[in-house]
Structure 1
Amino acid sequence: MVKGMSISFDKAFGVFQYTMGIRNQRAEVLAGNLANADTPGFKARDLDFDIAFKNAAHVQMEEPSNMIVTNSKHMKHSAIEDEPELTMKYRMPYQADTGNGNTVEVSTERMKYMNNNLEYQATLRFLNGRISKLKSALRASM
């Protein structure tokens, strides 16, 4: 048995562990759009996956900062990165306004929800494969 060996989830799974969370958040947003399809004035939103993914990858790769706040007016380093509103966007409808101000197009939302679900499942299969390989490596080292 190998002693003192530790496994870093960031090294083992890369950004794919964060992808699962992003896909889950996107599913919630898309489901909320579908649930509000008949709500007057509701504006369809979507999570910008590319921006959220880049943010997750950036946070993962970033080295701990040695910045020191010497003045109370200095901006905190983490305040720059923790801006989830940058990943949420309002969706522009393909068809003209229905008159009640609602921008949810049910067919578009369903398609995006199903596509997000397929990508979530693909990521899950990838992670399961990685976990199986890690389990095999651990069994072999014992």
Structure 2
Amino acid sequence: MTAAKIWQQVSINERALGLRAYRQELLASNIANADTPGYVAVDIDIEKALKTGKSKDDVSLQFRIPAQGSIDGNTVDMDVERAQFAHNSLMYEYSVDRVKGRFKELDDLLKNTPY
């Protein structure tokens, strides 16, 4: 793989890391506000953002529609939030590993390039 291709992949993964970190903040906020009356859970469509090349500054917040409403108007479903939080954490770690792999490829490429 060429250095340009490696840097392109690093850039893509850097954007993914930014989106995943932003989503983690949103999910953590939802969990923290699970007992706040009237709090409306928010999220982003991360798959769409990744496919369309958007950064965290370009994505729109989406309000989560609960499967069952709450008397106090809170829309946080802790089961959903915890599952999404865990999944997003795993995907963040995957993206970190991808970036590490790309830098290893770049390091190997530089070591094997004659001067």
Quote the residue 2:72 is aligned against.
100
- Corresponding letter in the other structure for 1:108: V
Number of matched residues?
A: 112
Quote the residue 1:115 is aligned against.
87
The yes-or-no answer on 1:30 pairing with 2:2 is no
The structural deviation recorded for 1:83 is 6.9
Q: Which aligned runs of 4 or more in structure 1 are off by greater than 4 angstroms?
A: 6-10
CA RMSD in angstroms, aligned pairs only: 2.5
Say which is worse superposed, 123-132 or 33-42, in terms of deviation: 123-132
Contact 2:43 2:64 in 1 (8 A): yes
The structural deviation recorded for 1:48 is 1.3
* CA separation of 1:139 and 1:16: change in aligned 2, threshold 3 A: same
Quote the residue 2:60 is aligned against.
87
Give the TM-score normalised by structure 1: 0.69
Rounded to whole Å, the distance in 1 between the matches of 2:9 and 2:36 is: 44
Q: List aligned pairs for 1:2-41, cutoff 5 A.
A: 10-41=7-38
Rounded to whole Å, the distance in 1 between the matches of 2:90 and 2:7 is: 23
**Structure 1: any 5+ residue segments left out of the alignment?**
1-5, 60-81
Structure 1 or 2, whichever has the larger Rg, is 1
Give the TM-score normalised by structure 2: 0.84
The structural deviation recorded for 1:52 is 2.3
Secondary structure of 1:110's counterpart equals helix
Rounded to whole Å, the distance in 2 between the matches of 1:101 and 1:12 is: 43
Contact 2:6 2:105 in 1 (8 A): no
